[in-house]
Structure 1
Amino acid sequence: MSRANDREIVSLQYNSDKNLHARQALHRGFSTNKYGWENWVFDQYIFNPNDKVIEFGCGNGSIWAHNKNKLPKNIEIILTDLSEGMLKTSKNNLSGVNQIVNYCTMDIQNIEYENNSFDCVIANHMLYHVPNRDLAISEIARILKPEGTFYATTNSTYSLAGLKDLVRNFDSRLDYASFSVAKEFGLENGIEQLSKHFDSVEKAVYEDSLHITEAKPLADYVLSLEGHVNIHDIMTENKIKDFHEYLEEMILRDGSIDIPKCSGIFICKRPKK
């Protein structure tokens, strides 16, 4: 078990959408690909009339919220998460979206639905947090109909490498450089894991980068990694102030902080029964 899928750490990290929101805010505010991650991911989904859809680890429901006006009227969506706080936020963000018929806490490793129940299963940026990922993927294949599709997003192992260097140069005691969710399940190793349970696995990549011109959103992003990174051990109030000044000096000197990033989606069909 790693810090990426330690249940205690993950529970602390996602008991509300505070940390997730801080990270989303940086990407939304400073991404160079202006089409938008939420729009691009939704474009990959193919929904047919009367489809039954379930998402695991729905978080604050941002992809649905950004695309609620594009949803077909005749599909049924169930949103699940381990965090009741996330589900509450998601429900608030998606008030009035009639296609979402239920919000419930559920463990992807032990799915409480019968075989062949769903036309579409979604797991966005969450499989790397699952302790027994192989069991989770087998459960997804089990509940999917034979003609169903599983969509799973994640990051490249090389995404935001520049941010890790930036944090390490500020204080080498911060262990952000050694933390990587994508090493658990990323664009480079996801096909191998998914192919055990699906006969067809395709990958699509969303190219992007960050052009950051404000210090606070970047500082908030780094501080949001509490638990995954030893933030509380190092970042005292004075140290946080120093970190803000460190970032502001870089932006003043160079005009911006530019960091490459890369994420994508796996589209999986023909589940192995």
Structure 2
Amino acid sequence: MSKANDREIVKIQYNSDKNLNARQAFHIIFSTNKYAWANWVFDQYSIKPNERIIEFGCGNGSIWSNNKDRIPKDTKLVLTDFSEGMLNAAKESLQDIEGIDYAVMDIQNIEYDDDSFDCVIANHMLYHVQNRDLAISEVARILKPEGTFYATTNGSNNMKGFKDLVVAFDPRLNIKSFSVTSEFGLENGEEQLYKHFNSVEKIIREDSLHITEAKPFVDYVLSLEGHTNGKEILTESRIKDFYAYLENIISRDGSIDIPKSSGIFIARNPKK
């Protein structure tokens, strides 16, 4: 078990949408690709009217709130999350969309019959699952034979150099021990999916970070509570020092530039 899929740590990390909001804001502000991630992801979906769709780990529902006008007519949408707090945040942001069902649910134990859905979605969450093989087999089970599974994740080069900057400020910060891509990333996700699907396609999104302010950077690091020891090391005085450290780099170099690596797997033909 790693810090990425430790059940207790994940509970702490996602008991509300506060931490997720900090990270989403960071990427929205500084991503060089100004076409929104939520819109790009939705572009990859092939959803037809009247289809039945379920998303696991829906978070704050940002994929749907950013694409309200693109949801096909009479779509039967079920949004689930491991965290009730996160699910409440999704309900709040999507309250003007009728007909969405919400459920606290574990992707490792899906409470639906075989061949129940046309589409299953899991965005940036499979790396938090302890038994991914069971989870993916459950997804294949509830999908119709012609159904599709969409799963986004990051690559091993995502935000390369980010952790080095943090550790250079204070070597006590254990941010390097936290890795999600070793669990389910662009480099190893395909193999995991092929165990339960006959067809897997990988699509990469081109993007990077051009960071010109210190505060969102600091907020991002603090948002990793549980996964790292940032909350313990970054006391009020050390946060001020961290700001100064980052501001000096930005002043000297003009910006902090970090590569990104993310994309989506599209798995079809579930093995029954």
Q: Would you call these one fold, judging by a TM-score over 0.5?
A: yes
Instruction: Please tell me whether residue 75 in structure 1 is matched to residue 79 in structure 2.
Output: no
- Does the CA-based 8 Å contact 1:73-1:99 persist in structure 2? no
Q: Give the root-mean-square deviation of aligned CA atoms.
A: 0.8
Using the aligned pairs only, state the percent identity.
69
Q: What per-residue deviation string (whole Å, max 9, x for no partner) do you get for residues 70-125 of structure 1?
A: 1111211000001111111100101111252x111000000000000000000000
Task: Return structure 1 stretches of 4+ with deviation > 2 angstroms.
Answer: none
**1:236 aligns to what?**
235
In the alignment, residue 102 of structure 2 is paired with which amino acid? Y
In the alignment, residue 36 of structure 1 is paired with which amino acid? A
**2:267 aligns to what?**
268
Q: What per-residue deviation string (whole Å, max 9, x for no partner) do you get for residues 206-247 of structure 1?
A: 010011111100110011001101113311111111111111
Q: What per-residue deviation string (whole Å, max 9, x for no partner) do you get for residues 9-37 of structure 1?
A: 00000000000000000000110001111
In the alignment, residue 64 of structure 1 is paired with which amino acid? W
In the alignment of these two chains, the number of paired residues is: 272
**1:107 aligns to what?**
106
**2:16 aligns to what?**
16
* Cα separation, 1, equivalents of 2:261 and 2:160: 10
Q: What's the offset of the Cα at 1:45? A: 0.3
- SS of structure 1 residue aligned to 2:206: strand
Unaligned runs of 5+ in 1: none
The TM-score, its normalising length taken from structure 1, stands at 0.98
Unaligned runs of 5+ in 2: none
**2:88 aligns to what?**
88
The TM-score, its normalising length taken from structure 2, stands at 0.99
**1:224 aligns to what?**
223
* Cα separation, 2, equivalents of 1:169 and 1:87: 37
- 1:32-51 alignment, distance < 5 Å: 32-51=32-51
Q: What's the offset of the Cα at 1:50? A: 1.1
- 1:51-200 alignment, distance < 5 Å: 51-100=51-100, 102-200=101-199
